[in-house]
Structure 1
Amino acid sequence: MNGKPVNPSNGAETAGLTGLLRCRDEDTGHLQREQELRGGKYLGLQRFYDREGRLQRERHVNERGNSQGRMAEFWPNGQLRREEFAENGRTRGPVRRLDAQGQLERLAFHADGREQFYVEYNAAGQPTRLMCPAASVLPEDRPLCGFGGAAETALHTASGAKAAQMRYEQGRLLTAMEWDAGGLLAAQMLFENGRRVHRRYSSENGKAVLREERIYEADDRPLAHRGGALAQVRQWGASGQLVEQRSYTAGRETLVERWYLNGALRERTAPAGEGPAARVLRELHGDDGRLARRERLTADRQPTGVQQHFHANGRIALEEGYGEPDARGRTRLQTRKEWDESGRLLADDVLLEDGSRQRKAGLTGS
């Protein structure tokens, strides 16, 4: 330091000193570290070098030893690799990352302890990823995020293929479309009647086929958010056949419908009454459309009342009777009847609390 050897581990040797402490490799003489002292305290500039003596990174520190002001990292060729600014150790303001040729790879902005904006670029300078702020924070976000009016922003892959098309206005995402590696539509997000709509597609025989649609109740969440109260969910098979549809009211599932790929109804589950405690009626069908089972359930999906199973010819095969829910919400099987395909009664039982059954006289069952 100041041309004189100093042991930085010995506080007595650095006490009261002001200047720039330089540390070199004993064998090569290459500079390894520079650190500023003010009145014996490490305060101000810090620089770190690689084994060849090339500058790797630098920063300034405050009285607490935390980063304060500009921080920078460098490539071996001397090009700036990363630059950011700190306030008492916390990143604040723009953060830039560049490749070895000086091409911008990523630009971000930090405030209030979090990242509020970022955009990433491929080697051709095309945006590959983007997160827009609620209000403009840098000149670069204005054309991308629609702060000068609605903007269509395309996102690309590393190779330059178009990966997504986004529409922003005042930082708010209005629509988004994504494509897969083969150039087929993979996902879509938009607002319809104030509600968020998310659609997912799959590639089937060289075509994009809609496989799922999720519609959310209107709220203040951003378009890409996957939370919130659902209004409807629909799913399709690879052939484009609707196979499932669920409807919701105030976040509660109120209707389930499923279909076989041949178009026949497979299941329909719907409330049998009003209110959150209403009973539920579920009907299950075979792939020929015939009713196979009818169930009555509590809101917690416990069987209650009469449950019915049917033979292939449409005649009733089994009927079970359940009681009302107990204090734990559980129900108990109380009666059971069976019939053969001709309609002949085979069994008529009462199920007792200990699990034993009491069969009516004259019926042997099978």
Structure 2
Amino acid sequence: MSPPPRAAPSRLAASAGAGAAAFRIAAAALWLFAAGAAHAVLDCEFNGRKVNPSDGSSTAGKTGLMRCKDRETGELQREQQIQNGVLMGLARFYEKGKLAREHTLNAKGHIHGLAREFAANGQVLREAVYDDGQEHGLVRSFYPSGQLRRATLYPAVGADRAFVEFTERGQMSALRCGEVPMLAPAADDARLCGFVGGPSQVELFDTAGVLRSRVSYLAGKRVRSQSFYDNGKPSVQDEIVGRQRTERQFSSEGVKRRETVWLLLERNAVRQREQEFSEKGTLIRDRRWDRAGEPIGDDSYHLNGRPRSKSVYRGTGDARTVEITEFYDSGQRAAHGRYLVAGRGRQLPVGTHRRFSEKGVLLAESNFDAKGRVTRERSWDENGELLRDDEVFEDGSRKTIMSR
């Protein structure tokens, strides 16, 4: 469908537009002139006559090619097309007599169409297409050797940007897939991103040629990745199966130190389980959450594999509690108590809390009210003989019921 015709501008609007355009042209000329003049004083000429690109009157009404040279060395610095007094058309910039970059300006002073940058040997270093000052389509950059360095696709609004990077050896070093294949002919992202032939297998290298990661994509989505240490041992593994994402972290010796599992929802991910491991690989902590992200269990372990503590959550809302039991490394219970789960992870002790010796003898007992305030404390010796019995009041004062 063709766009609706635009209404003709009023004289005032046309005058204001012309003034704004003149300002942009003058500003562009000043910027271009200053860019060259930052390192050299330039002398510009148009058809053999001197002109000053920062003074619009010297080029007013002219059409043709302006050339600027370094006053001291006489080296060509810039060539710029002028159309009816406007800096418009092809612009070329030189360094030490060699073409360094070129592009085309539209009537608004914006880069429009093909733009390129060059190495001293004439090799293209960057190549892009602009649409009224905005990069559009496939943008490519190269090493001085001519090897492709990076290719980026700037698609229409609403689509994901995709890119691929290579080392100077020609090995892939980075990849980001789009919603559909879009990097050809720079890269076969239909295959690399798993749009054809099932999940892909991609290897990414650093500049020294060392394998840094392996990545698998399916229909443009990353489903598995694995990164490596310098010694080749795995560093991090990340895998998605169905609606579950699992991340594993390893030490430089290859020992798994952490594993985290998320449930993938429509707009976010909810952590479901997280396990921590010792330097030797033994489980030292195991935490679990429900589908709403609320904790349901938190267990820790001694290095000998026996329980260190167990936390069990119950209830909902303001009545939610956690019951915590602690253990000696022998397996004997060391303490037990219940807590009210308050906001921001705070826990208020409620009910009766007890601590035991390694032989299972009760050593201390504290009673708490519904607000987490201690109301009574008792203690015993290793033989089970009562040592002290105190009643505790709201202001913190005590009344000793029995003391030995």
CA contact 1:90–1:113 (8 Å) conserved in 2: no
Q: Secondary structure at the match of 2:190?
A: helix
CA pair 88-115 structure 1, distance change in 2 beyond 3 A: farther
Larger proportion of helix: 2
Aligned residues: 349
| Residue of structure 1 in register with 2:337 after alignment | 295
Deviation at 1:257, TM superposition (A): 0.8
| Residue of structure 1 in register with 2:74 after alignment | 29
TM-score calculated relative to the size of structure 2: 0.80
1:136 equivalent in alignment to 2:181: yes
| Residue of structure 2 in register with 1:3 after alignment | 48
Across the aligned residues of Structure 1 and Structure 2, the Cα RMSD in angstroms comes to 2.2
1:182 to 231, 235, 240: 231
Deviation at 1:114, TM superposition (A): 8.2
Q: Secondary structure at the match of 2:57?
A: helix
| Residue of structure 2 in register with 1:123 after alignment | 168
Calculate percent identity across the aligned residue pairs: 33
- Give the residue type in structure 2 aligned to 1:64: K
Deviation at 1:265, TM superposition (A): 0.7
Deviation at 1:220, TM superposition (A): 4.8
Deviation at 1:274, TM superposition (A): 5.0
| Residue of structure 2 in register with 1:328 after alignment | none
| Residue of structure 2 in register with 1:158 after alignment | 207
The worse-fitting range, judged by mean Cα deviation, of 101-110 and 265-274 is 265-274
| Residue of structure 1 in register with 2:146 after alignment | 102
Counterpart Cα distance in 2 of 1:101 and 1:258? 56
Structure 2: 5+ residue runs without aligned partners? 1-45
1:307 to 353, 364, 372: 353
TM-score calculated relative to the size of structure 1: 0.88
Deviation at 1:80, TM superposition (A): 0.8
CA pair 340-82 structure 1, distance change in 2 beyond 3 A: same
Counterpart Cα distance in 1 of 2:231 and 2:124? 36
Structure 1: 5+ residue runs without aligned partners? 222-226, 326-330
Counterpart Cα distance in 2 of 1:164 and 1:254? 35
1:260 equivalent in alignment to 2:302: yes
1:212 equivalent in alignment to 2:285: no
1:351 equivalent in alignment to 2:392: yes
CA pair 346-126 structure 1, distance change in 2 beyond 3 A: same
CA contact 1:149–1:170 (8 Å) conserved in 2: no
Counterpart Cα distance in 2 of 1:296 and 1:79? 73
Counterpart Cα distance in 2 of 1:23 and 1:62? 20
CA pair 11-298 structure 1, distance change in 2 beyond 3 A: same
Counterpart Cα distance in 1 of 2:370 and 2:141? 66
CA pair 169-342 structure 1, distance change in 2 beyond 3 A: same
Counterpart Cα distance in 2 of 1:63 and 1:352? 85
Deviation at 1:262, TM superposition (A): 0.9
- Give the residue type in structure 2 aligned to 1:178: S
Counterpart Cα distance in 2 of 1:278 and 1:293? 21
Counterpart Cα distance in 1 of 2:308 and 2:393? 34
Counterpart Cα distance in 2 of 1:261 and 1:64? 71
Deviations 1:195-233 (A, max 9, x none): 1111122233xxx22221111113357xxxxx6201111
